[in-house]
C-alpha cells in the first residue's frame, strides 16, 4: 500500500472522515473513486495521469454528504480549494486535504493556511503550448480571430460539460437555465454558443485557477480554456491579479480602484 493509501486508510479507520475522494485505476486510466471503507484505501492512486479536478465534488453536497471528507488533490485542485475557501464555499473543519509531494510522500493539510504555504513555492505554470496559441490568436487580425472562434463555436453541442467539470461553476441556478428573460437560447447555434462562453468566462474573471478541466471536458475539443487564460493575462496586466491564487483584495469584479484605467472612455 502506498503512502497516500495508508494515510487515507488511517483516516477512515479512526472515523475522522466518512469518505475519501480520490482516484483508482480504471480500465482506461485513472477514474474518480469514492472510498468509504478503510480496506479499499489501497486502491487509491495519485499520479500525473490523475488530471480530473476532484475539487468539483466539494460543492456538491448531494454526492459527498454532509460529513467530514478527505480529498486527494493535485496542485490544480489545491489552488481550487483555496479559491473556493476565499469565496466562503468550504469549511475548514469539514475537510482534510491529502496530496503527495515531489518525493512521493503523503502530505496532509488540516488548515487552508497550510495549503497556501505549500503552494507558495509552487506557482501556477501555464502550458507553454497554450501560451503560444494565445499569442498567435492575438497576432491575427480581428476578422481572422472572429472566423476562428465562429468555426470553433459552430462545433459546440451545448452539452454544458465545461460547466459541469469546472470546480468554480457551482451556482445552484445557472444563467442559462433562466428563461424569464432567456439570456442564452437553449439550442445550439454559433451566436448563442458564443454568448454562453462569454457568460461563463465573465463569471470566471479573476477566479479561474487554470486547471484546464473545461478543455478536457469539451467533447468536441473547443479550446475554451484559452478564453479564461487570455483573461488571466489581461487581469494580471490591468489589476495585478496573480493567476492561480485568490485575489487578496476580493473578487476582481466586485471591487474597484479609483485609479483603474479609463483611456477607452471618451
Partner 1 sequence: MNEIKTEFEPKIIAFVCNWCTYAGADLTGTSRLKYATNVEIVRFPCTGRIDFMLLLKAFAGGADGIIVSGCHPNDCHYTSGNFHARRRWIVFRGLLDFLGIDVRRIRYSWVSAAEGAKWAELVNQTVAEIRELGPYEEYKKVANYIEKEAVHE
Residue 103 within binding range of partner 1, rule CB under 8 A: no
Residue 223 within binding range of partner 1, rule CB under 8 A: no
Residue 117 within binding range of partner 1, rule CB under 8 A: no
Residue 234 within binding range of partner 1, rule CB under 8 A: yes
Contacts for 260 with CB less than 8 Å, ≥ 6 apart: 238, 239
Q: Which of 23, 33, 109, 149 binds partner 1 (CB under 8 A)?
A: 149
The answer to whether 3 and 106 are in contact (CB under 8 A) is yes
Q: Which of 53, 72, 99, 192 binds partner 1 (CB under 8 A)?
A: 192
Q: Which is nearer to partner 1, 180 or 265 (CB)?
A: 265
Q: Which is nearer to partner 1, 72 or 192 (CB)?
A: 192
Q: Which is nearer to partner 1, 61 or 142 (CB)?
A: 142
CA 186 to chain centre: 24
The answer to whether 211 and 78 are in contact (CB under 8 A) is no
Q: Which is nearer to partner 1, 131 or 199 (CB)?
A: 199
Q: If you write DSSP's letter for every residue of 110-141 in order, what string do you get?
A: SSHHHHHHHHHTS-----HHHHHHHHHHHHS-
Nearest of 238, 226, 220 to residue 197 by alpha carbon: 226
Length of the chain in terms of residues written: 266
The CA distance from 239 to 261, in Å, is: 9
What is the largest distance, in Å, between two alpha-carbon atoms of the chain?
67
25-33, 38-46, 122-130, 246-254 -> range binding partner 1 (CB under 8 A): 246-254
Pairing of strands 69-72, 95-100: parallel
Residue 248 within binding range of partner 1, rule CB under 8 A: no
Q: Which of 205, 216, 247, 249 binds partner 1 (CB under 8 A)?
A: 205
The answer to whether 53 and 78 are in contact (CB under 8 A) is no
Q: Which is nearer to partner 1, 161 or 205 (CB)?
A: 205
Q: What is the distance in angstroms between the CA of the first residue and the CA of the last residue of the chain?
A: 66
Contacts for 103 with CB less than 8 Å, ≥ 6 apart: none
Q: Which 27-86 positions form the footprint of partner 1 (CB under 8 A)?
A: none
Q: Which of 1, 191, 220, 242 binds partner 1 (CB under 8 A)?
A: 191
Residue 189 within binding range of partner 1, rule CB under 8 A: yes
Residue 252 within binding range of partner 1, rule CB under 8 A: yes
Q: Which is nearer to partner 1, 7 or 192 (CB)?
A: 192
Nearest of 248, 89, 68 to residue 168 by alpha carbon: 89
Give me the least distance between CB of 11 and partner 1, in Å please.
Answer: 41
What does the binding site for partner 1 look like in residue numbers (CB under 8 A)?
Answer: 137-138, 142-150, 183, 185, 187, 189-192, 194-195, 198-199, 201-202, 205, 227, 230-231, 234-235, 238-239, 252-258, 260-262, 264-266
Amino acid at each position: 500500500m502506498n503512502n497516500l493509501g495508508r494515510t487515507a486508510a488511517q483516516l477512515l479507520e479512526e472515523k475522522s472522515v466518512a469518505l475519501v475522494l480520490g482516484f483508482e485505476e480504471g480500465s482506461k486510466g485513472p477514474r474518480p473513486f469514492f472510498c468509504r471503507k478503510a480496506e479499499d484505501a489501497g486502491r487509491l492512486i495519485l499520479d500525473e495521469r490523475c488530471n480530473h479536478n476532484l475539487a468539483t465534488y466539494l460543492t456538491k453536497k448531494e454526492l459527498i454528504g454532509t460529513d467530514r471528507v478527505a480529498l486527494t488533490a493535485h496542485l490544480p485542485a489545491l489552488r481550487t480549494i483555496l479559491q473556493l475557501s476565499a469565496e466562503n464555499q468550504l469549511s475548514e473543519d469539514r475537510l482534510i486535504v491529502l496530496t503527495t509531494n515531489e518525493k512521493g510522500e503523503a502530505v496532509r493539510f488540516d488548515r487552508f493556511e497550510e495549503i497556501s504555504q505549500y503552494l507558495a513555492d509552487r506557482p501556477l505554470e501555464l502550458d507553454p503550448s497554450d501560451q503560444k496559441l494565445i499569442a498567435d490568436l492575438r497576432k491575427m487580425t480581428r476578422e481572422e480571430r472572429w472566423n476562428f472562434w465562429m468555426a470553433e463555436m459552430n462545433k459546440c453541442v451545448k452539452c454544458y460539460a465545461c460547466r459541469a467539470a469546472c470546480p468554480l461553476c457551482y451556482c445552484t441556478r445557472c444563467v442559462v437555465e433562466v428563461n424569464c428573460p432567456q439570456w442564452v437560447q437553449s439550442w445550439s447555434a454559433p451566436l448563442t454558443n458564443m454568448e454562453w462562453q462569454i457568460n461563463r468566462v465573465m463569471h470566471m474573471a479573476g477566479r479561474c485557477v487554470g486547471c484546464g478541466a473545461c478543455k478536457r471536458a469539451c467533447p468536441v475539443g473547443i479550446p475554451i480554456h484559452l478564453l479564461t487564460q487570455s483573461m488571466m493575462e489581461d487581469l494580471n496586466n490591468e489589476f495585478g491579479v496573480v493567476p492561480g491564487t485568490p485575489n487578496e483584495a476580493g473578487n476582481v469584479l466586485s471591487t474597484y480602484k479609483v485609479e483603474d484605467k479609463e483611456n477607452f472612455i471618451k
